Structure 1
């Protein structure tokens, strides 16, 4: 748990780095945060990169955007080498891949960003972004700070907006993560550290 909180502190500090994020929204109440996010994104067509620490509510906010604005936004399904969690579907929540297959695809330059997190690869393939933009929709990416930095360092995605979702406090973030009850104390500590 302490490790996860340390990592969350690092991500919150990164949210203040000049030029890394275009906006920071504090997710202290879902409806108000969603309304704020909706105002920021109204009329946008380029990719939207939503970042923040594990447990902050990125997935919930993204799900609401996709539900309320089906014609405007599409979700970019990332790749990972971690095992699926209960209820996760390949191709919907993630494209689940072996470490060898993903390493080869990374080597071939098929990803706009990728990172090794908690011993597993995570990344966004160029094909996943194209699958959304081909439909004429603005692509929403769910990333961590590492992914945002990687995309910025590579020159970004054309016109992309970078948004950081922050918890109201580290205590609240810890409570949310514990409330999930999906991970061991050891994994919980690792998530809070990142």
Structure 2
């Protein structure tokens, strides 16, 4: 039996991190988070191998040249990406979870089948805000960005929403509890599908 890679994506502020944290809390060790890589410096409290795999910019670029990443991009001057080896040799009874930006999710969906020794099936969920105004209020409420940064995030969100139909499932935001319940139901459906697969 193979496992699933569950991709959770959507604009900043829709609650992806909260949903992923709750899924991991409820379903670990059956569900584990993929640790992605970055070239930025660790923030206070962050641990290498737990929060991110931290590399220098030169180390990151070398890994790009050696085709070690399934996807990578530059965000605010720092490199971020997913190493291919993080998706292989996974215990057959474990599913993987990623909270990932829209571009990264698209790259993984199109390229995961090309990774040698990767037996994961991929399922993607897009968390879509009901409106840009709703998203703006959420971003203001969380209090981590100034007004200029919020406007940049809203511009990005507008473009991301345009490609929502490229994902397997779209969930329109409601309350935090309802959003989590809908994503949780999708995860449980994946497990049901795996259990119903015929054994080789």
TM-score by length of 1: 0.66
Please tell me whether the aligned partners of residues 16 and 99 of structure 2 are also in contact (alpha carbons under 8 angstroms). Answer: yes
**Can you list the C-alpha shifts for 1:141-169, whole angstroms capped at 9, x where unaligned?**
11111012212332557421011111232
1:124 aligns with 2:86: no
Quote how far apart the aligned CAs of 1:84 are.
4.2
1:149 aligns with 2:78: no
Cα distance, 1:112–1:89 mapped onto 2, change above 3 Å? same
**Can you list the C-alpha shifts for 1:46-103, whole angstroms capped at 9, x where unaligned?**
1111111111111111111111111321000111223445554433222233222111
Query: Which structure is larger by alpha-carbon Rg, 1 or 2?
Result: 2
Aligned ranges for residues 44-193 of structure 1 at < 5 Å? 45-85=3-43, 87-130=45-88, 133-134=90-91, 136-156=93-113, 158-193=120-155
Please tell me whether the aligned partners of residues 110 and 125 of structure 1 are also in contact (alpha carbons under 8 angstroms). Answer: yes
Q: Distance in 1 between matches of 2:49 and 2:23?
A: 19
**Can you list the C-alpha shifts for 1:154-194, whole angstroms capped at 9, x where unaligned?**
25574210111112322221122222322343333333322
Please tell me whether the aligned partners of residues 7 and 122 of structure 2 are also in contact (alpha carbons under 8 angstroms). Answer: yes
Q: 2:4 aligns to what SS in structure 1? A: coil
Structure 1, gaps ≥5 residues long: 1-43
Structure with higher RCO (Cα < 8 A, 6+ apart): 1
Count of matched residue pairs: 150
Quote how far apart the aligned CAs of 1:118 are.
3.0
Q: Distance in 2 between matches of 1:97 and 1:186?
A: 29
**Can you list the C-alpha shifts for 1:5-36, whole angstroms capped at 9, x where unaligned?**
xxxxxxxxxxxxxxxxxxxxxxxxxxxxxxxx
Tell me how large the CA RMSD over aligned residues is: 2.4
Q: Distance in 2 between matches of 1:82 and 1:173?
A: 27
